[in-house]
Structure 1
Amino acid sequence: MKNIFKTLALASVFFVAYSCDEERFDVQPNHLDSPESIFNNEKNYRLVVDGAYDAFKSPTYYSGDTGSSIILGDILADNLIINPQGRGTNRSAYEWSYTQQDGSVTSLYASAYFVISRANIVLDNLNKVPYTDYMKNIEAEAKAIRAIAHFDLARAYAKIPTQSADAPNSLGIAYVTTFDPAAKPSRDATVSITYDKIIADLQDALSKINPDNGGVGRLNKTSVLGYLSKVYLYKGDYAKSIEYGELAIAAASSVGAIENFVNTWRDASDDGELFTILNANTAQDNVSIGVAYNQNSGGIRSESNVSYDLFTSYTPAPATPVMTDIRKTAYVLTANFGSIPYNNVIKYRTRSGSTVAGVVDIKMLRMADVYLTVAESYMKSSTPNQVRALQLLNTLRTQRYTNYVPGPETGTSLLNAVYYERRLELAFENDRFWTLKRLGLPVVRSNFGSGATGGGTDVPTGATKTLSATSHRFVLPIPQDAINLNPNIVQNPGY
C-alpha cells in the first residue's frame, strides 16, 4: 500500500511541465513510475527535484484567490484594505475572524507539506544511485526546499522566537523528514527545536549545493546563504544573520538597479532576484496566481487595495532635487473601477509582452531582503555597527529613489528607517504580518478608506482596526481536517 502512495505522489511530480527560454529550466511530463523504476539515473532525480520547486505553485501556496501566500502576509496586516466592490475574498483574514474550521484564511498548511513531501521523496531515495557530486547537489536542493517550506509553516502556525519571552519554548510544528503517507508526526516540543531543524537542513544544503544551478529558478549557494541570514534573524541570532547575509551580499551584491526594477516585476529582468518560482511559458504552464488582488472586469476590479497610508509613504517628503520612488510605479496603479478611483496592486498583474493575467514568476527571495535583514541585525547585535547598517540601507535607497541623497540616520532613527524601508520594499511579498509578529508589535490600521485618496465609508474600525500584539490570532489555527487525520497534532491555543 505504501508503494501505491509513493507511485501516486511521483505521478503528481511528473505530470507538470515547464517550458522556458534557454536560461530557464525545463520539466517535461513523464509516464507513471514507481520509486524502484524512476530513481535509476541522475537525470530523473533532477526531474523530481524540479517537481518540488513546481509544488510551490500549488493552491494555495502561491496560487489561488483565497489565502494564498501572495496576499496572506499583507491582508493580515496593515498594507491592504478590503475593497467593497470586490467579491469579499480573504475577508476572514482581513477581519481576523478565522477559526480552526475555517479553511478560507489559507491552505498553506496542506500546500507546504505537499512541497515537503516532494522534497522528501528525493531524499528518501538517494541511495539508489552512486553518491556523486551531482547527487550531493540534488540532496542539497531538496533539503533547502524542505527547510523553506517548514520555515513558512513555522512563521504561520507557531510563535516566532523573537516575538515574546515565552516564544522560544512554545510549541513548534511537525518537522517531517521522510515521505510516509501513513505517518502521524507530532509537533516539536518547542519553536527553538523547529528553528534548529530548519537551520540544520539549510546548513547541510550550504555545504553541498552548487554556486550556480542554472539561474534564479533553482536554489544555489547564494540563495541558501540568504535564507540562513533570514532564519537566523527570526531566531534572534544576529551575529549569524550578519555572517551569512554578508557572504550572500559578497556573492551577489545587486539589490536590483533602479533602471531594471519595473522590469523585474514584469519578468523582463532577474536583477536582484536570488530565488524565484518560475511560471514558465503561458502556452504550456499557464499557472495563474489567481485574482487575490484584482481581476480585469470593466477595468481593474480589486479585491483589496493599497492602504492609503502605505500609498502615500511611497512619496518622499518634499526635497530638492525632487525624489520619486520607483516602487510606486512597479507596485501600484491608480485606476477607476466604475466611477471610483482606487490604488491597485499590480505587482503580479502580467508579464511584459503578455496579455495573460496573473501568469508571472514568484519572487521568493530578493537581495533587497538580505540587505535589510543584515542592516537590522547589525543594529541589534551585541556590538552594533551603525556605519555598516547605514551603508547597506543607503545602497538600497539609492536604487529606489531618483536623486537620492544618502541618509544620515543613527541609533533608533536608523533602526526605524530600516523597518520603514522593509515595509515599502517588501510590500505584497508576504512579509509585513510576519515582521510585525517577530517584532512583537500589534497591527494598527490607518484611519482611511479604500478610495485612491483615502476616502470612503469603509474605514477600519472595531475588530478590524487593531490586532493586539498578545492576540492568539498572530498564530494561525491548524486546519481541523489536518487534526482529524492526525490526532497527534495539537491545536494552537485560543481556537
Structure 2
Amino acid sequence: MKKLYFLTILIGIVTSCDKYLDIEPKGSVIPTTVEDYDLLMNSVHSTSNESVLALTADDFDMRFKDGDIKQPDNQEFQMYSWGDLRFYNPTYPVNAWNSAYANIYTNNKVINEVMQSNLSMGYTEADKLSIQAAAYYNRALDYFFLTNIFAKAYSSSANTDLSVPIVTIADATQSGLDRASVLEVYEFIISDLEKAMENLPAKSKTHVRPNIGSVYSLLSRVYLYKGDYEKSLEYANKAIEINSVVLGDYVNSDPKTIDKIYRKEQYSVRYFGNTKAYQGALSTALKNILDTKQDTRYYQFFTYYANYGIEYKTTRTEPNAAPSVGEMYITRAECYARLGKKDLAIADLNTLREKRLKNYTPLQSADFSSDKDLIKFCLEERRRETFQSHLRLFDVKRMNLEPDFATTLVKEFQGETYKAEPNSGKLVLPIPAQVMKFNPSWKNN
C-alpha cells in the first residue's frame, strides 16, 4: 500500500505544543480553539534541510575531513561527493524530507480545521483567516524546498518531470499517493501563496509569522525559479515597496549588532535547524568570489577557526530560509537584466552592493560588454547575497538549463576529484529509501 512516510511528525508537534495538546490513539493532535491552532503554528518556524542543501552544492565544505570517512553510511560524504549511496539505507532518516512533511502535516491540519474551531478569548473570526493564511504560506515554502531538492529544475518538461507527492490532509497513514509533476507542485505553491495573500496582515505579530511581504517575496522567488521573469519582477517590486522592511547597511553597522540589522531585512523568518554547527565550513570556491577585506557578507558573519576553517561566528544570527529584502534586490536586478533593462539592473546592483562593500566603486554600464555578462554578474552577486539561505543548489540547477551559464561543480577530497556536470542528475537528490520502502511502485530519481 502506498503511504507517505512521516517520521518525527509527532515528535515535532508534541515537543513544541505538549502543554495544551491531547493525542488521539493514532497520534493526531486535537486542537479545538482558535488559540490552539495559533499555538500549533509555533511548530513550523524552522526547517532541517540545511545539510542536504549545503553539502550538495559548493558553498560549504565538510567540517570533518580527516580519517576514513568514505563509507556508505557516512551520508555527509555521500552528499558532498554526489555519491550513488545517498539515502540508500531504509533505516536512515532524512530530515530534508521528514522535517518538511512534518511541517506540511501541521499546516494541513490548520488549513482544514481552523475555520471550524471555537473562538478563544481575544480572538476573532478574522484571526481564523489570518492563521489559515499563515499555514498556506508555510506549506508553500516547504513545497518549494521539497521540489527543488527532490526534483529537476523547472523547465519545458515540467509537466512530465517527477517531483514530490502533494499532501493536503493531516493524515500520516494516507494511501494512494503518487509523485506529482514539477509543474503540478509549482502550480500548487502559487495557488497556496495566492490564498495566503488574501488574509495575511501587513505586519506580523512576531518575526516567525508571515505577512503580506513574505508572500510577495516568496512569489518573486518562485517565479524566478520558474523562469517567469516578468512575474518575478512584479512581486519583487511589491516586496521592495513595503516600507517596514529595508535594506540594511552592513558597512556602517556595529559588528556587535549586525544580527539585528540582518533580522530587520527579513520579511519573516524560517530558521534552519542547525546551520552553524551542522557539518560545514565556508568553501574555497565561495571565498574566491567574496572580497574578504571589503565584503561585509564575509567578515561580519564569518571567522577562522584553527580546527575547522572559516565558519559562522557563533554570536551571529541564525540564517533564514525565507526571502529577504536583499534577495529581492538581486532578484529584481537579474529580472531587469534578462528583460533588457540594463540601467535598472545596474542601479539595483549598486543599491545592494553599496550596503555590503566597504570603499565601494559603483558599477557602470561600460563594465559589461553584453547582456550576457550582466546576467552572469547578477548570478554571481546572487551567490554572494544568498548563500546563507542555501539557494546555491537551486541556482546551479536552473543555470544548467542555459548553456551560457551552465557550470560543473568540482570538489577535491582526500586526493580525489569529484564532479557534478550540468544536467548529469547528480544535483537531484534521490527519494530516501525510508520512503521508497513504503512506496515501491514509485520511480526514483
TM above 0.5, yes or no, is yes
Give the equivalent residue in structure 2 for 1:123. Answer: 111
- Mapping of residues 78-477 of structure 1, within 5 Å: 78-82=58-62, 83-85=64-66, 88=69, 90-97=76-83, 98-102=85-89, 106-129=94-117, 132-162=125-155, 165-252=156-243, 254-258=246-250, 259-260=252-253, 262=255, 266=259, 270-277=263-270, 291-293=277-279, 304-315=280-291, 324-337=294-307, 343-346=309-312, 349-351=314-316, 360=318, 362-381=320-339, 384-408=340-364, 409-410=367-368, 411-440=371-400, 441-445=406-410, 458=414, 461=417, 464=418, 466-477=419-430
> Using the alignment, how far apart are the partners of 1:265 and 1:70 within structure 2?
22
Structure 1: runs of 5 or more not aligned = 1-5, 18-27, 62-68, 280-286, 294-303, 317-322, 353-359, 450-456
> Using the alignment, how far apart are the partners of 2:109 and 2:319 within structure 1?
25
Residues 488/180 of structure 1: CA separation in 2 closer, same or farther (3 Å cut)? farther
Q: Report if aligned partners of 1:79, 1:307 keep a CA contact under 8 Å in 2.
A: yes
> Using the alignment, how far apart are the partners of 2:444 and 2:381 within structure 1?
35
Give runs of ≥4 in structure 1 deviating > 6 Å: 8-11
Residues 372/175 of structure 1: CA separation in 2 closer, same or farther (3 Å cut)? same
> Using the alignment, how far apart are the partners of 2:416 and 2:350 within structure 1?
34
Residues 272/166 of structure 1: CA separation in 2 closer, same or farther (3 Å cut)? same
Q: Report the secondary structure of 1:470's partner residue.
A: coil
Between 1:148-157 and 1:480-489, the stretch displaced more is 480-489
Q: Deviations over 1:404-429 (max 9, x none)?
A: 12111442222121111111122243
Opposite residue 270 of structure 2, the aligned amino acid is I
Give the equivalent residue in structure 2 for 1:357. Answer: none
Opposite residue 159 of structure 1, the aligned amino acid is K
> Using the alignment, how far apart are the partners of 2:29 and 2:58 within structure 1?
51
Q: Deviations over 1:65-103 (max 9, x none)?
A: xxxx33432322222333524895611111111345147
> Using the alignment, how far apart are the partners of 1:36 and 1:193 within structure 2?
28
> Using the alignment, how far apart are the partners of 1:270 and 1:116 within structure 2?
25
> Using the alignment, how far apart are the partners of 1:326 and 1:167 within structure 2?
38
Residues 167/403 of structure 1: CA separation in 2 closer, same or farther (3 Å cut)? same
Give the equivalent residue in structure 2 for 1:482. Answer: 435
Q: Report if aligned partners of 2:430, 2:444 keep a CA contact under 8 Å in 1.
A: yes
Q: Deviations over 1:219-264 (max 9, x none)?
A: 1100111000000111111111011111000004523211348557
Q: Report if aligned partners of 1:276, 1:363 keep a CA contact under 8 Å in 2.
A: yes
Give the equivalent residue in structure 1 for 2:13. Answer: 13
Q: Deviations over 1:253-295 (max 9, x none)?
A: 523211348557646752212222369xxxxxxx8557323xx
Give the equivalent residue in structure 2 for 1:65. Answer: none
Q: Report the secondary structure of 2:277's partner residue.
A: coil
Q: Report the secondary structure of 1:422's partner residue.
A: helix
Opposite residue 302 of structure 2, the aligned amino acid is V
Q: Report if aligned partners of 2:9, 2:102 keep a CA contact under 8 Å in 1.
A: no
> Using the alignment, how far apart are the partners of 1:77 and 1:37 within structure 2?
37
> Using the alignment, how far apart are the partners of 1:105 and 1:407 within structure 2?
47
> Using the alignment, how far apart are the partners of 2:21 and 2:55 within structure 1?
41
User: What is the count of residue pairs matched by the alignment?
Assistant: 413
> Using the alignment, how far apart are the partners of 2:87 and 2:208 within structure 1?
34
Residues 231/263 of structure 1: CA separation in 2 closer, same or farther (3 Å cut)? farther
Q: Report the secondary structure of 1:51's partner residue.
A: helix
> Using the alignment, how far apart are the partners of 2:11 and 2:95 within structure 1?
22
Q: Report if aligned partners of 2:154, 2:398 keep a CA contact under 8 Å in 1.
A: yes
Between 1:324-333 and 1:34-43, the stretch displaced more is 34-43
> Using the alignment, how far apart are the partners of 1:178 and 1:368 within structure 2?
35
**With CA pairs under 8 Å and 6+ residues apart, which has the higher RCO, 1 or 2?**
2
Between 1:425-434 and 1:37-46, the stretch displaced more is 37-46
> Using the alignment, how far apart are the partners of 2:277 and 2:28 within structure 1?
40
The alpha carbon displacement at 1:185 in A equals 4.6
> Using the alignment, how far apart are the partners of 2:142 and 2:303 within structure 1?
31
> Using the alignment, how far apart are the partners of 2:354 and 2:103 within structure 1?
37
Q: Report if aligned partners of 1:238, 1:380 keep a CA contact under 8 Å in 2.
A: yes
Q: Report if aligned partners of 2:165, 2:180 keep a CA contact under 8 Å in 1.
A: no
The alpha carbon displacement at 1:114 in A equals 0.6
Q: Report if aligned partners of 1:10, 1:32 keep a CA contact under 8 Å in 2.
A: no
Identity of matched residues, %:
24
If the length of structure 1 is used for normalisation, what is the TM-score?
A: 0.75
